[in-house]
Chain A
């Protein structure tokens, strides 16, 4: 076991975990941050997507120990003062979720995409979300929400 010092959503947290623990498990079981979901556990579905130093990563295949000294952002960190942020509100407006299970991952992947590329084309949006699977929506609502965000220059 080891004590990990992690920077999550702007706050420093200490948590005890096994040396080779995976970030997803530490977030959910170690810290009770259950917004990040456990899906396929084989790095395909993207339900576990979080941002590591602003990059989208699948937390089910990230060693928690490697995250010390880096910035972790989870879906819990998106809301602004307890309110949904603009991207989240656009997701609601454009029907980008039904069961909601893929949604945290989709939001994180979209956030990472928009940071790298504030005005992605539809094709670039699809590539940015190529590691996130949705069984409900057929993706169009999700792409619409992201395109809407990009069109208004992210304001």
Chain B
């Protein structure tokens, strides 16, 4: 499932970049994120995410690897994880650009769901993925703009 979008954050690019690597603050923006651990700064992180719709709950243990990092410009991440009913693999590309004193963040993400979660739970997973990505974006924008 491919999603894309963009955010305009009313803060300069350095502030946005700084925020994106502040794992404590960033993880609070991820809906359902229960825990995050830095395995290697700016390279590898572990996350625990839990969410539910109706009777279906998903509890994912995710490993996020930073594949590419261009300071103040671009981040490419791959996240993989398992749940009791299947697995998820998500690639995400974030591109930053200055717009005067604001920052435009363009994102492109591809979410693949494996196992029974992907087949039996498909409509739920798809709607949830869309909603979660949007909420994440809104949360990040809100959190950065509230600060500094």
A residues adjacent to B (C-beta < 8 A): 42
Contacts and interface: CB of A to CB of B under 8 A. Distances in A.
A21 B31 CA distance: 34
B56 interface: no
A94 to B, nearest CB: 34
Interface of B: 116, 119-120
Describe B's contact surface by its main secondary structure. helix
A89 to B, nearest CB: 38
Nearest to B119: A42
Contacts, number: 3
Nearest to A42: B120
Contacts of A42: 116, 119-120
A58 to B, nearest CB: 15
Contacts of B119: 42
Contacts of B116: 42
Nearest to A41: B116
B94 to A, nearest CB: 37
A42 B119 CA distance: 10
A41 to B, nearest CB: 9
A98 to B, nearest CB: 27
3 contacts: A42-B116, A42-B119, A42-B120
Nearest to B120: A42
A61 to B, nearest CB: 13
Nearest to B116: A42
A42 B116 CA distance: 9
A42 B118 CA distance: 13
B118 to A, nearest CB: 13
